[in-house]
Amino acid sequence: MKMRAQAGGRHLSGAERILPQPLLPQQAETLARRALFHSRGVPEQVVLKIEKIEPEKIVVLDALAVSEIRAASVTEAWQALENLLREEGFTAEHILTLFRETYPMRGAMLLDTETFGRWEPDFQRGIRVTGMDALDSALQTTESGKNAFREALVLATKTAHAPGIVGEICVSDDPGYVTGYFASRRRGYVRISPLKEVGDENGGRLFLYHGSAEEVALCLDYLEHQLVQVRNIPSLPDSPPPNRWERLRSTLETIRTKGLYRQIPEMESAPTHHIWFQQRPHIMLASNNYLDLAHHPEVEKLVQEVAAEWGTGSGGSRLTTGTSPWHTRLETSLSQWQKTESALLFNTGYMANVGVLSTLCGPDDTIFSDELNHASIIDGCRLSKAKIVVYRHGDLDDLERKIRQEKPSRGLVVSDGVFSMDGDVLLLPEWLKICEKYGLFSMVDDAHALGVLGETGRGSAEHWQTAQPDISVGTLSKTLGSEGGFVCGKELLIDFLRNRARSFIFSTALSALSVAAAWKALEILQREPWRVRKLRENVHFFCRELQNAGISVQSESAIVPILIGDERQAVSSSQQLLQKGVYLSAIRYPTVAHGKARLRAALSSAHSQEALQQAATAIAEILRPLKPL
């Protein structure tokens, strides 16, 4: 019996059993269950094939002897495999380089150890070893129908007895299985772990062949057609209990080697347009305090007064402990500012996105999400358990095409208003038309648009002169210089969230200090719209200075991305800029895709043109030799 499962033309799972006819129904159910619940995804097609075979055609082999190498990290595990190959007399480095070429292959590579030529008839497909099982598989099968160690040992034992095969290297493509092996008749079966990180779907298989060209046909025939059952399969070798901390240490080591390690820098002053860091002044280009309202004298004065009356904490959830007048006042001001019926405060913008998406959508909904949406939107989509359809960034034709394909009975379309890593702006009018045309909720996260877009800083709707989307999400922590998030929309929406959104219901409320600070900052923003114009002027000036220096940049918002590509170069550039008195963060995976690392400048209305010119000159001096993207 053979099982194969695939999705989108991609192989997901496969298994074989050699067993008596009476056991077929039970094993068919087991293998079907295994196909349907696999870590690589949900199959679109599952094939069960049953073939009648003659018992006398089966060769019974004793399992290879088993040993184990447990390394402290992925790097050390690969070094152990390399050392083992050298001990066996192979050219280890070249073989392992070729092994990585097997990752996209469906089967195994057959590599000549003398010439390093390949013997597979089809280089893309590779060789599939079939017709094998453990002698006692029907008695040993787990509920899931899979025992990775036993199945790998069966395959390795058969392969090791094929004519001309002198060794095998294998790493599973199962993202949850990090153990690989080297096997040969002489050395036995050597389990090696971890050869990859958990979640890595890369994996491959390579057979080492030593023989004549004429004997290759015999080898291929044995691998693909000879029926084999393996007996005397041992239990896993005894090993010490796993070090529960080792996975963390190993993962951090890998992060360091890839230039992705993060540390939290400690500031020596507040994050305004200039800061003290490492005992010297720096131009701050990494703060979202876009209008410098976090340190406005009126804000600071009001906070002192509120602290004297209301203290520093709220005491509990607003639904159980009650709320302060400041919370109510700010929600009213926010809804009036955004020209909506009502508003609701959340503890963070992240919690606002998570709360809305997981409350409004469920398994019967479809969410259409821009591929570059913020992580809080992505996480909210996942928590909702709705069907998630990702459309190409800013591609409204692709969005509409996918809506037509899905034909959702109900759902939601969600996008950033200003995308936090690229600084580009959603084409709101056309986007809203699509949402309305198909009867889908429209949701925009305007965290980086408020105080930045529009003549008075009201955000995306003012910028495009359109009505607000059904759901407008914002934050108090950027332009308004405080902390917290909020949602604006119809009273019906806000009432629904107030009663159902878990991230609101089960969170201790923001302190009156934070809420009053945001309220005052909003009041200042509305009476001093020149701050928005000054921010826009600073962005245009900074971009022009960089462009004149040969650095290709552009921005419609307060975010100016300077693309570099390589993660290590981005980190090195950021560190060099610190030495020149410019604090500018390196943004790397997983915040952006691999190979898309960048310096992300966030500007303030309070920056002087002299400071921006100084920063642009320093950036150009460091980046010009790198030829940034």
Q: Measured between alpha carbons, how far is 51 from 2 in angstroms, rounded to an integer? A: 8
Phi, psi of 66 (to 5 degrees): -115, 135
- 478 as an active site residue: the answer is yes
The DSSP H or E segment spanning 601 is: strand 597-602
- 420 as an active site residue: the answer is yes
Q: Measured between alpha carbons, how far is 475 from 479 in angstroms, rounded to an integer? A: 8
Q: Measured between alpha carbons, how far is 182 from 188 in angstroms, rounded to an integer? A: 8
Please tell me which residue in 38, 274, 374, 478 is annotated as part of the active site: 478
Residues shown for the chain = 629
Please tell me which residue in 158, 274, 282, 448 is annotated as part of the active site: 448
Q: In what order do the strands lie in the sheet with 58-62?
A: 58-62, 227-231, 132-134
Q: Measured between alpha carbons, how far is 105 from 109 in angstroms, rounded to an integer? A: 8
Q: In what order do the strands lie in the sheet with 45-49?
A: 10-16, 2-7, 45-49
- Find, among 304, 389, 352, the residue nearest to 485 by Cα: 352
Buried b / exposed e over 392-405, threshold 16 CB at 10 Å, is eebebebbbebbee
Buried b / exposed e over 39-64, threshold 16 CB at 10 Å, is ebeebeebebeeeeeeeeebeebebb
- Residue 240, both tokens: 């010490």
Task: Assess contact for 2 and 29: CB atoms under 8 A.
Answer: no
All residues at 6 or more sequence positions from 532 whose CB lies less than 8 Å from its CB, including other chains: 291, 451, 452, 454, 455, 456, 457, 525, 605
What is the sign, positive or negative, of the torsion defined by CA atoms of 497, 431, 369, 361?
positive
What is the sign, positive or negative, of the torsion defined by CA atoms of 352, 358, 360, 361?
positive
Q: How many CB atoms lie within 10 A of CB 411?
A: 22
Q: How many CB atoms lie within 10 A of CB 304?
A: 10
DSSP assignment string, 2-33 = EEEEEETTEEEEEEE----GGGHHHHHHHHHH
Q: How many CB atoms lie within 10 A of CB 337?
A: 20
- Find, among 446, 461, 365, the residue nearest to 413 by Cα: 365
Buried b / exposed e over 532-541, threshold 16 CB at 10 Å, is bebbbebbeb
Q: Measured between alpha carbons, how far is 36 from 6 in angstroms, rounded to an integer? A: 10
Biggest alpha carbon distance in the chain? 92
Q: Measured between alpha carbons, how far is 359 from 318 in angstroms, rounded to an integer? A: 18
Please tell me which residue in 137, 314, 420, 605 is annotated as part of the active site: 420
Task: Assess contact for 219 and 164: CB atoms under 8 A.
Answer: yes
State the SS3 of 60-96.
Answer: EEECCCEEEEECCCHHHHHHHHHHHHHHCCCCHHHHH
Residues labelled as active-site residues:
420, 448, 478
